[in-house]
Amino acid sequence: MRNADIAAHFSELADLYELDGAIVHRVVAYRNAAAAIREAPRSVEELARAGRATELAGVGKTIAEKIETLLERGRLPQAERLLEKFPAGLVEITRIPGFGPKRARKVFDELGIGTREELRRAAEEQRLREVPGFGARAEESVLAALAADPDGSARGRVLLSRVRAIGEEIVAALREHPACQRVELAGSARRMAETCKDVDVVAAATDRAALVEAFRALALLEVTSASESGARAVTHNGLPIDLRVVAPETFGNLLQHLTGSGPHNEALRTQAVRRGLHVSEYGVLDDERGTTHACATEDEVYRVLGLVYVPPELRENRGELEAARARELPDLLRVDSLRGDLHCHTIASDGRASVEGMAAAARERGLDYLAITDHSASHGFGKDVSPDALRRHIEHIRAVDESLGDDFRLLAGSEVNVLPDGSLDYDDELLTELDWVIASLHSSFRLSEQEMTDRMVRAIEHPLVDAIGHPTGRLIERRDPYALDLDHVFEAAARSGTFLEVNGNPNRRDLSERNARRAIAAGVTLVVDSDAHGPETLANVGYGVATARRAWVEGRHVANTRRWDELDPLRRPSSTAADA
């Protein structure tokens, strides 16, 4: 059983216990355990079978035993018992905005309501107000919430790249204002999460009202509420924006608070309480002295708590607080640590720019090398690059490289299709002429896990393949990853010295942060690339770097932090095996 599946069972059990009226801390304990299981970088099943599940923070004796029961029977008996007591739809009701376990339980007890549909009808027929604590307003808001999300499937999350485009525009506009002293994006956009629910902006100003007024005047917003301390707005395409403005003395406290994540802040405060410190957006209250320490910078917030500064990308309660206390945070990958980009396209396949145009843009970005990796013969959309066309393409790339001088290297590469049986659609003789080969899957996504894994491992083991492009094929919020046994994939990549890509296309970010962290733990070396289809999207490598940072990846884990003459020998299986 995968970690995610085990975690889902404990999340469900937490929901059911909560409906059953268990004390809140017990419910929280189950949720914490579920999160620890989900985030664990190794197989929890293996850990549990070795009797070591309690090594996970938040898993004690009781939950460790329940994991073993779950692995034996495939179900948790406690959950089964509670599912006889409550209709399955009742948990769905707790997800409706404004509803939680207490209110869901109340409508079930009083009116026998156990599904969203039954709740909707009761609200329409004005029967909800018969329940103590519910009134006409409650009926209205239930109907509004159900109308906004009829089947409970709306996730309402927006891709990071869209959110950052809007958020950065707002920040830039506010920064221009004379009253503005500091302004930053906060929230999940600052943490570079895959998707965001809204945009949080934090500012410090000499004249707070004036800055709020400037925010109200931005043409891209419909402002829904405003005061001296901030404003709330919605962009014309429906993205909610929150602005908070404080005096500069507490800017650090507010930025830290609103950057989150929720679990990071909760854990931060829990640990602080043990030292007699209470953290909020207004400062750090010291029990002993009775004073509140206001922090102008985030650095100060963390320092007051005995921690080193935690980069926003790590603030997910995945071990960063313990590492920050021990001063052992990773030396995270940075965009400027990358010397080259090893995945991009030109008009030879489905790109928008010439070889010359891409090379010039890469140089402009300060890179030392760029691999041109157009799609191979059987790609099936855009232009196909036949073997003869590839030979001419290689010659052209070499000629352009010659013309560029010694401080920049243009590499002749290809993004070669992996066919359903794991073979490649150029023959070895042609592949040998290339400097750099990425193998990617672009078709036949629906094979079984066994077939898909065999296919991938065969590509990884091909001696002329340097890297696997977007290894799981997922598209954020749109397409699930291929069915793959990633433990096998990572083992094969580590053994053969084939690199796995962290693709920077903001729709892909593949490997994901979770999988990239597992990959480096398994000894895999990564490449972080833009997969640019035009000069402007070379900047997408920033999303790849953000993904890698969220995976605790350091420069040493990434092949293209090296010069090309250092990287080149790394990718030969014999020498890699010797290094390992």
Partner DNA sequence: GCCGTTTTCGGCCCGACTGTTTTCAGTCG
In the complex, the residues that contact DNA under the rule CB under 7 A are 23, 25-26, 28-30, 32-33, 54, 57-64, 96-104, 132-138, 141, 262, 265-266, 269-270, 272-276, 278-282, 285
Q: Which is nearer to DNA, 196 or 430 (CB)?
A: 196
The three state secondary structure string of 297-330 is CHHHHHHHCCCCCCCHHHCCCCCHHHHHHCCCCC
Shortest distance, CB of residue 315 to DNA, whole angstroms? 14
Q: Which is nearer to DNA, 26 or 52 (CB)?
A: 26
- CA–CA gap between residue 149 and residue 22 (Å, rounded): 29
Shortest distance, CB of residue 309 to DNA, whole angstroms? 20
User: Is the backbone of residue 276 left (phi > 0), alpha (psi -120 to 50) or beta?
Assistant: left
- CA–CA gap between residue 222 and residue 216 (Å, rounded): 8
Q: Which is nearer to DNA, 99 or 543 (CB)?
A: 99
- Give backbone dihedrals phi and psi of 138, rounded to 5 degrees, phi first: -60, -40
Q: Which is nearer to DNA, 278 or 365 (CB)?
A: 278
Shortest distance, CB of residue 44 to DNA, whole angstroms? 13
Q: Which is nearer to DNA, 97 or 420 (CB)?
A: 97
Q: Which is nearer to DNA, 298 or 435 (CB)?
A: 298
Tell me the residue ranges of DSSP E strands in 332-382.
340-341, 369-375
Shortest distance, CB of residue 142 to DNA, whole angstroms? 10
Shortest distance, CB of residue 262 to DNA, whole angstroms? 6
- Give backbone dihedrals phi and psi of 436, rounded to 5 degrees, phi first: -155, 130
Q: Which residues contact 356 (CB under 8 A, 6 or more apart)?
A: 400
Shortest distance, CB of residue 439 to DNA, whole angstroms? 42
Q: Can the peptide bond before residue 349 be classed as cis, meaning omega within 30 degrees of 0?
A: no
| Residue for token pair 């221009």 | 176
Shortest distance, CB of residue 489 to DNA, whole angstroms? 31
Estimate to the nearest angstrom the gap between the alpha carbon of 476 and the chain centroid.
9
Q: Which is nearer to DNA, 57 or 234 (CB)?
A: 57
Contact between 374 and 349 (Cβ < 8 Å): yes
Q: Which is nearer to DNA, 90 or 424 (CB)?
A: 90
- CA–CA gap between residue 292 and residue 288 (Å, rounded): 11
- Give backbone dihedrals phi and psi of 413, rounded to 5 degrees, phi first: -135, -175
Q: Which is nearer to DNA, 199 or 204 (CB)?
A: 199
What tokens does 67 get? Answer: 């994991």
- CA–CA gap between residue 346 and residue 534 (Å, rounded): 7
Give 485-540 as a DSSP string.
-HHHHHHHHHHHT-EEEEE--TTT-BS-HHHHHHHHHTTPPEEEE--BSSGGGGGG
Shortest distance, CB of residue 37 to DNA, whole angstroms? 11
| Residue for token pair 């070591």 | 52
Shortest distance, CB of residue 134 to DNA, whole angstroms? 5
Q: Which is nearer to DNA, 107 or 459 (CB)?
A: 107
- CA–CA gap between residue 418 and residue 433 (Å, rounded): 18
> Edge-to-edge strands of the sheet including 199-205?
180-186, 199-205, 240-246, 230-235, 221-227
Shortest distance, CB of residue 45 to DNA, whole angstroms? 17
Shortest distance, CB of residue 111 to DNA, whole angstroms? 15
Give 451-467 as a DSSP string.
HHHHHHHHHHH-TT--E
Nearest alpha carbon to residue 488 among 527, 449, 440, 444: 449
Shortest distance, CB of residue 188 to DNA, whole angstroms? 9
Q: Which is nearer to DNA, 76 or 332 (CB)?
A: 76
Q: Which is nearer to DNA, 23 or 217 (CB)?
A: 23
